[in-house]
């Protein structure tokens, strides 16, 4: 009865299996691979990527989509079948936008740029990276042209990560809360001495950090029968199926935060993938719908839950049991304030909740300017530093901790940064809906009970995988679009209390 | 100038990359995969295997081989090009021997049989496995027919693992040393009380077992910049390229042997793969030439080196430093005898050097009889037990520790067992050549110096990868074929001294 649709599903599952296999090759490279295994691994990834691409762009894909569409007739928008056809069509279209020569050029610059960037960062030598970054920006403009856009090349790139959002919309959202963030941070700076986070900077043996992180993420609902945790230089979450979603952690022996909040963060990503509907596995509907929504899940668990007073009224005694000499004598209030210390700092990935979005806004402004030509690559360091001083009140002493800090541009990821900030906003919007539906959630969290919240997230977000776009999903849940007001209210409320503003 | 040959190499490297990728999917399944990840992983392996098979049997393979052969003209037999053409042709022919229906049937029985066997073994219930094993043997006969053979169906199956060796030849080699083994073991049994191995059965913390195993295998020459060690239920070595060759270990907290000698064994396999010529990577010449030669390398390091008195005169002080309470007071002679204790036992994988080949011989005889119909599956248990008593003087109390112990038949691996015994013989033949070339090797080993031996193995065996067959290689090295006489002399000399015969 649905012969063509079944053939399409079979075809798409081959494509999915190739893509998941590539993910494993990548995961293993970062987690396990011995140092000298890189060259052969690169060749393996190249082979699997090429076969994946060939299968996706083969004539069979549009033929099967067309045949299945005709066969299925009119479908409800939110049916699985309609979702599969929509997302498969989009994947096919994105993959066929670029001529082969462009794909080759893009791959070549990607392969080369990482090392150039890494050396420039290590040597605080922006000049040595400048020509490469100029090439990358040229290619990014070409990429945008191939993808097509109406107003600004940025829109084309952003759409790959956050379907349907325009740079104008992001610009509005950002300018709608930038001043309030700057004000809040300035106010906090007046009372910086009210929070002391020295308790977090002590010797914390890694084995016990891991033990605590595993126990807490398991309590949240990350299913380790369908996941695992490993160590890597750059922490990440990755999915090989909804039943095999893994996280990695970077441990710091003398600072509790990176591994602890990193594990909560990555577990948030992982629970999203684990919650994707079982019937989506092997189809393009499996996984998370956009980077912004993905980030909303990681930030919700890391910050809204994991940096709340209620959470630590449950978790602190457990931490004290594992680290009696480090935190045995600390009270809840001191610990809660310590993990929420606000301090303008140079490095985005170490930024606190209040300053984080400002790090993103300046990158967004620079990317926009680089793409439309209003900012030259050569001027990036001073453009970076000027914004940094204006937004955060400090100036990076070197480019290493300034414009050179992120890997993204060297990997060709332009238009990616905003999704981090959008995730912060969405996290608060979604969480507010969850507690409207279940006012008991904050109280439950103080008892280490997280299943009401997780079940709500599963039902409203996770199970839908990629069936709805970020905007569709947000409208379904909140009745409106992305909005920075709840986020600002959340920060103002939280930090007024902590800093006694 | 060699355009067609280059195109062939490119084609073969795609095939190799797919096969290596499949190996990673399998390694991860055994080492890391969370319990519930199996179904999706199975689908991924199926996709990659199918694409690998399709590429190998595509018309492009023989076309490229033919074009390259014409282009290259007359080649020296031992040139890389001639080797690539030979092995590629053989791989292609093997892969095209079976009709699709047969491949499907074979895969179906493989997928089903493992569980049937595992349950039968757990319940000591051979009858519940009998029908499945009959099906497997039928398929194995069909497999042999598709492969083709002159004398006995066993030859066809054996040839897949040990090219060019016939069952008649194996039968000769086995009958040429079976009686001497039986006699030796009977003689040893008279003086069983002269060796006490209780020192090996104590509490040995796993962390320190691993530390010792890593230090020792590193000293042997296993390059951990191009390898790593993990834990798994069934220990194995696996290669993703010559620069990424990994081993796994099973630890026993109260018995030193499994992990210690297991690591030496797997490191032997790994050093073979690491020594394969760099120019063979991505070609079918990479890796080890046959299962027998591979086993010769693992057994050489595990037994000839790792169970020698000289080795432990270097290694025992290191073991004592790590395990002072367990072995601090033991002298070299006692320890050396303990690790060489001979004791007829039921389980092949735990057998000592002297009894091991008898375990193989009885399996070989049974497989031969099952294939030619002279033994019925229904009679296997009594056929097994009768041989066991005659060769080893003991009768398995249950089929679980008898005919049901091995996974091989349930995985369709018929004709595989002899390679283990051939490996034991080849190990002694090769080692004798090495010390003829470098008489200093035994003395060097007492100082923990292994590079003369490893360099010799690299030059004579490892670097050649699959360029020569097992027989060709053995003739090049020893000037003659496989021979059990050196093995018997080695055992007689070693155990006469240990047991004072």
**Does A333 map to a domain?**
yes
- List of residues 6+ apart from B290 with CB closer than 8 A: B161, B162, B163, B419, B469, B470
Domain boundary among A57, A80, A96: A96
Shortest distance, CA A262 to any CA of chain B (angstroms)? 21
- Decide: helix, strand or coil at residue B383: helix
Kindly write down the DSSP assignment for every residue of B13-69, as one continuous string: HHHHHHHHHHHHHHHHHHHT--GGGHHHHHHHHHHHHHHHHHHHHSTHHHHHHHHHH
- Between chain A and chain B, the number of residue pairs with CB atoms below 8 A apart is 116
Shortest distance, CA B286 to any CA of chain A (angstroms)? 12
A43/B13 Cβ within 8 A: yes
B13/A40 Cβ within 8 A: no
Pairing of strands A244-249, A227-231: parallel
Domain boundary among A71, A96, A121: A96
Choose the closest CB to B47 out of A18, A32, A44.
A18
A17/B46 Cβ within 8 A: yes
| Selection from B276, B193, B284, B292 nearest residue B242 by Cα | B276
Shortest distance, CA B36 to any CA of chain A (angstroms)? 5
* Whole-angstrom distance, CA of residue B480 vs CA of residue A427: 74
**Does A40 map to a domain?**
yes
**Does A480 map to a domain?**
no
A282/B41 Cβ within 8 A: no
* Whole-angstrom distance, CA of residue A69 vs CA of residue A51: 25
**Does A25 map to a domain?**
yes
Its pTM surpasses 0.90: yes
Structure tokens at A238: 């990755």
Q: How far is CA B65 from CA A477, B96, B205, in A?
A: 60, 15, 54
- Together in a domain, B229 and B96: no
Catalytic residue chosen out of the listed positions B91, B160, B162, B266: B266
CA dihedral B16, B21, B25, B28 (to 10 degrees): 110
A36/B20 Cβ within 8 A: no
- Together in a domain, B254 and B128: no
**Does A211 map to a domain?**
yes
- What are the helix and strand counts (H, E) for chain A? 21, 3
Choose the closest CB to A225 out of B13, B35, B225.
B35
CB B491 within 8 A of CB B353: yes
- Together in a domain, B122 and B149: no
What is the pLDDT confidence band of residue A157, given thresholds at 50, 70 and 90?
very high
Domain boundary among A96, A122, A155: A96
Helix or strand holding residue A181 (H, E): helix A167-189
Structure tokens at A140: 């990014």
Q: Where are the alpha helices (DSSP H) in A190-256?
A: 206-220
Query: Nearest 5 degrees, angle CA A446-CA A452-CA A457?
Result: 120
| Selection from B440, B451, B452 nearest residue B221 by Cα | B451
Shortest distance, CA B47 to any CA of chain A (angstroms)? 6
pLDDT (tens digit, 0 to 9) for every residue of chain B, 501 residues total? 689 999 999 999 999 999 999 999 999 999 999 989 999 999 999 999 999 999 999 999 999 999 999 999 999 999 999 999 999 999 999 999 999 889 888 988 888 898 899 999 999 999 999 999 999 999 999 999 999 999 999 999 999 999 999 999 999 999 999 999 999 999 999 999 999 999 999 999 999 999 999 999 999 999 999 999 999 988 999 999 999 999 999 999 999 999 999 999 999 999 999 999 999 988 999 999 999 999 999 999 999 999 999 999 999 999 999 999 999 999 999 999 999 999 999 999 889 999 999 999 999 999 999 999 999 999 999 999 999 999 999 999 999 999 999 999 999 999 999 999 999 999 999 999 999 999 999 999 999 999 999 999 999 999 999 999 999 999 999 999 999 999 999 999 999 999 999
Shortest distance, CA B225 to any CA of chain A (angstroms)? 5
Q: Which residues of B touch A (CB under 8 A)?
A: 13-14, 17-18, 20-21, 24-25, 28, 32-37, 39-41, 43-44, 46-48, 51, 224-228, 230, 240-244, 246, 281-282
User: What digits encode the pLDDT tens for the residues A167-180?
Assistant: 999 999 999 999 99
**Does A141 map to a domain?**
no
Catalytic residue chosen out of the listed positions A266, A273, A365, A383: A266
- Together in a domain, B272 and B344: yes
- Together in a domain, B180 and B292: yes
- Together in a domain, B161 and B185: yes
- Together in a domain, A78 and A204: no
Choose the closest CB to A240 out of B13, B37, B244.
B37
Q: What is the ipTM of this complex?
A: 0.93
- Together in a domain, B199 and B300: yes
Choose the closest CB to A17 out of B24, B44, B240.
B44
Query: Domain containing B487 — which CATH number?
Result: 1.10.1370.30
Q: What's the pLDDT score for residue B236?
A: 95
- Together in a domain, B326 and B271: yes
**Mean pLDDT across chain A:** 96
A20/B44 Cβ within 8 A: yes
What is the pLDDT confidence band of residue A1, given thresholds at 50, 70 and 90?
low
* Whole-angstrom distance, CA of residue A354 vs CA of residue A342: 7
User: What digits encode the pLDDT tens for the residues A325-383?
Assistant: 999 999 999 999 999 999 999 999 889 999 999 999 999 999 999 999 999 999 999 99
CB A272 within 8 A of CB A297: yes
CB A110 within 8 A of CB A46: no
B25/A243 Cβ within 8 A: no
* Whole-angstrom distance, CA of residue A139 vs CA of residue A147: 12
User: What digits encode the pLDDT tens for the residues A302-312?
Assistant: 999 999 999 99
- Decide: helix, strand or coil at residue B353: helix
A37/B244 Cβ within 8 A: yes
Q: How far is CA B431 from CA A190, A270, B37, B297, B300, in A?
A: 78, 52, 44, 10, 7
Total tally of structural domains belonging to chain A: 2
Distance of CA B309 to the CA centre of its chain: 24
**Does A246 map to a domain?**
yes
* Whole-angstrom distance, CA of residue A347 vs CA of residue A166: 27
Q: At residue A4, does pLDDT exceed 90?
A: yes
The DSSP call for residue B268 is H
Active site annotation includes B266:
yes
- Together in a domain, B34 and B157: no
Q: Looking at residues A428-453, what average pLDDT do you find?
A: 98
User: What digits encode the pLDDT tens for the residues A468-482?
Assistant: 999 999 999 999 999
Cβ neighbours of B12 in A, within 8 Å: none
Q: Give the domain extent around A64.
A: 3-96
Choose the closest CB to B241 out of A14, A40, A227.
A40
- Together in a domain, B126 and B183: no
- Together in a domain, A435 and A302: yes
Cβ neighbours of B227 in A, within 8 Å: 34
């Amino acid at each position: 009865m649905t012969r063509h649709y079944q053939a399409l599903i079979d075809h798409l599952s081959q494509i999915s299996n190739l893509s998941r296999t590539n993910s494993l090759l990548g995961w293993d490279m970062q987690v396990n691979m011995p140092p000298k295994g890189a060259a052969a691994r690169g060749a393996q990834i190249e082979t699997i990527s090429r076969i994946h691409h060939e299968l996706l762009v083969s004539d069979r894909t549009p033929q099967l989509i067309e045949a299945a569409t005709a066969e299925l007739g009119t479908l409800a928008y939110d049916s699985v079948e309609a979702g599969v056809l929509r997302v498969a069509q989009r994947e096919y279209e994105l993959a066929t936008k670029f001529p082969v020569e462009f794909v080759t050029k893009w791959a070549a610059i990607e392969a080369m740029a990482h090392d150039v960037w890494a050396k420039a960062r290590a040597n605080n030598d922006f000049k040595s990276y400048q020509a490469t970054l100029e090439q990358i920006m040229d290619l990014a403009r070409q990429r945008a042209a191939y993808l097509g856009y109406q107003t600004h090349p940025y829109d084309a790139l952003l759409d790959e990560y956050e379907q349907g959002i325009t740079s104008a919309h992001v610009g509005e959202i950002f300018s709608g809360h930038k001043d309030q963030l700057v004000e809040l941070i300035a106010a906090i700076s007046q009372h910086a001495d009210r929070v002391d986070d020295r308790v977090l900077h002590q010797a914390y043996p890694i084995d016990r950090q891991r033990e605590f992180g595993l126990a807490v993420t398991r309590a949240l609902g990350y299913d380790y029968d369908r996941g695992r945790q490993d160590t890597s230089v750059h922490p990440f979450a990755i999915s090989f199926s909804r039943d095999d979603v893994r996280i990695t952690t970077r441990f710091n022996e003398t600072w509790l935060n990176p591994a602890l909040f990193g594990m909560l963060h990555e577990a948030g990503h992982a629970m999203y993938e684990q919650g994707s509907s079982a019937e989506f596995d092997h189809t393009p509907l499996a996984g998370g719908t956009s980077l912004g929504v993905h980030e909303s899940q990681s930030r919700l668990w890391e910050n809204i839950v994991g940096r709340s007073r209620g959470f630590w009224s449950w978790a602190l005694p457990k931490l004290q049991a594992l680290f009696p000499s480090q935190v045995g004598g600390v009270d809840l209030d001191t610990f809660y304030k310590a993990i929420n210390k606000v301090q303008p700092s140079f490095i985005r990935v170490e930024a606190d909740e209040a300053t984080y979005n400002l790090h993103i806004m300046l990158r967004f402004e620079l990317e926009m300017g680089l793409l439309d030509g209003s900012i030259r690559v050569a001027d990036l360091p001073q453009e970076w530093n000027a914004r940094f001083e204006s937004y955060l009140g400090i100036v990076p002493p070197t480019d290493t901790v300034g414009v050179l800090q992120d890997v993204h541009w060297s990997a060709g990821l332009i238009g990616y940064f905003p999704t981090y900030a959008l995730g912060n906003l969405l996290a608060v919007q979604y969480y507010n809906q969850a507690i409207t539906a279940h006012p008991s959630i904050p109280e439950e969290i103080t008892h280490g009970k997280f299943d009401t919240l997780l079940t709500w997230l599963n039902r409203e977000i996770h199970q839908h995988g990629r069936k709805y776009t970020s905007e569709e999903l947000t409208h379904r849940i909140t009745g409106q679009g992305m909005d920075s007001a709840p986020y600002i209210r959340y920060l103002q409320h939280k930090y007024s209390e902590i800093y006694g503003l």
